[in-house]
Structure 1
Amino acid sequence: MTAVAFDVSFFGSVFVSLLVILDPPGALPVFLGLTKSFKRQERLAVAARATTVAFGVLLTFALLGRQILEYLKISVPALQVSGGLLLLLIGLELLLGKEDDKAEVGRTHIALVPLAVPLFAGPGVIVTIMVAMQRAGTMGQQVSIIAALAASMLVVYLSMRYAGAIHRLLGEGGTTLVSRIAGLLCAAIAVQMMADGVVGFVHGAN
């Protein structure tokens, strides 16, 4: 039985690329804004669920992404525009302070939307992981990509795991301010995501 050779350089390049796109420090204000009224255990549960779901989604796209998009006849620009629209709605809620009016059922779902999808498992990360898998020429490189994905999601989890310390440092007023800034950042990310999608549509039509 042939051993699978782990490609360290491939792991490093994919790991760094994923961290840059995931931007765990940049996601912290959004996480704090969405969970500012949560207890510590609730916040930890949301962090664990969000990273687990995001990892599962990204792993699925890494292994079957091209087939899924082709079967559903969905283009990458369409994925970018739809993800951007979803993120824009969340950003506006944060910016206007409407997240406080969410029903209790909404508290259990924010780990799935918008944290897992589209904030962490967004179009940019999905495309990056799909392209990396296409570039992988050996089984060892494919294993390296999956390991890089797992490592990057662990960093995301740890950043949210210790977000409580940041919450205590900022206080209630500071966290509210951060949530408004997060709404603005979310909206900006969403607009950029949709703009990239539109550019992709235009290039695809030429």
Structure 2
Amino acid sequence: MFGSFDFQEFLSAFIVLFAVIDIIGSIPIILNLKQKGRNVNANKATFISFALLLGFFYAGDMMLKLFQVDIASFAVAGAFVIFLMSLEMILDIEIFKNQGPIKEATLVPLVFPLLAGAGAFTTLLSLRSEYAPVNIVIALVLNMVWVYVVLKLTDRIERFLGKGGIYVIRKFFGIILLAISARLFTANLTLLIEQFQNLK
């Protein structure tokens, strides 16, 4: 059920989640929220994000079975979402718009959609089609620790990296996400084609 720990799988899962959650790239948004007087609670944001992501990681599979969708199909769909996210980061465009009615900053937009959004959900299930669950969960836990540290030290990190540093990091991880989406798409599309041929 959990599989065995594999450092390579853990490292790959960590980097993918790090790029998708992109807490460093969210620093300008967090600072903007604080300037507008919208409170950001690091403890609450980290805990709720982790609970949502972990819950979806384990319950998402059951939800897919309910709708008769397999992991490989979901991974292909997830590859498209990650591809669009990478375009946002590389081209400085907004594809996923947040136009929800809730104005409380910790839950929206910080927890959803910045930390635990559609991209993170689809990425978790897409990773599950390739890696053992234990490696993904450990990668998720360490990413949440990193999120907590960044939320606590947002002002210092922004001063240290500067706007230029944050911009470069965002572009770099955008390119990584683009490559990951291509690999997820090709690997799982091959699986779907093999399943289709076996049905004949």
TM-score (norm 1): 0.66
Equivalent positions of 1:11-22 (< 5 A) are 13-14=4-5, 16=7, 19-22=10-13
Name the % identity.
Answer: 14
The code of the aligned residue for 2:85 comes to: I
- The Cα shift of 1:19 comes to 2.7
Structure-2 change in CA distance of 1:17 and 1:184 (3 Å): closer
Distance in 2 between residues matched to 1:177 and 1:38, nearest whole Å = 18
Equivalent positions of 1:12-51 (< 5 A) are 13-14=4-5, 16=7, 19-24=10-15, 27=18, 30-39=22-31, 42=40, 44=42, 46-51=45-50
Equivalent positions of 1:1-206 (< 5 A) are 13-14=4-5, 16=7, 19-24=10-15, 27=18, 30-39=22-31, 42=40, 44=42, 46-61=45-60, 65=61, 68-99=63-94, 103=98, 105=100, 107=109, 108-114=112-118, 116-119=120-123, 121-125=124-128, 128=131, 151-163=138-150, 164=154, 166-206=157-197
Distance in 2 between residues matched to 1:70 and 1:102, nearest whole Å = 29
Structure-2 change in CA distance of 1:187 and 1:56 (3 Å): same
- The Cα shift of 1:166 comes to 4.6
The gaps in structure 1 that reach 5 residues or longer are 1-9, 133-144
TM-score (norm 2): 0.67
Tell me the alpha carbon deviations over residues 5-57 of structure 1, each in whole angstroms, 9 at most, x when there is no partner: xxxxx979347576334215871583322343213864835544332211111
Retained in 2: the 8 A contact 1:95–1:184?
Answer: yes
Distance in 2 between residues matched to 1:170 and 1:16, nearest whole Å = 29
| More helix per residue | 1
The code of the aligned residue for 2:58 comes to: L
- The Cα shift of 1:159 comes to 1.8
The code of the aligned residue for 2:116 comes to: L
Retained in 1: the 8 A contact 2:17–2:139?
Answer: no
- The count of corresponding residues between Structure 1 and Structure 2 is 176
Name the Cα RMSD after superposition. 3.6
Retained in 2: the 8 A contact 1:94–1:180?
Answer: yes
Distance in 2 between residues matched to 1:122 and 1:73, nearest whole Å = 15
Retained in 1: the 8 A contact 2:75–2:122?
Answer: no
Structure-2 change in CA distance of 1:98 and 1:49 (3 Å): farther
Tell me the alpha carbon deviations over residues 108-137 of structure 1, each in whole angstroms, 9 at most, x when there is no partner: 422232453134x231236645xx6xxxxx
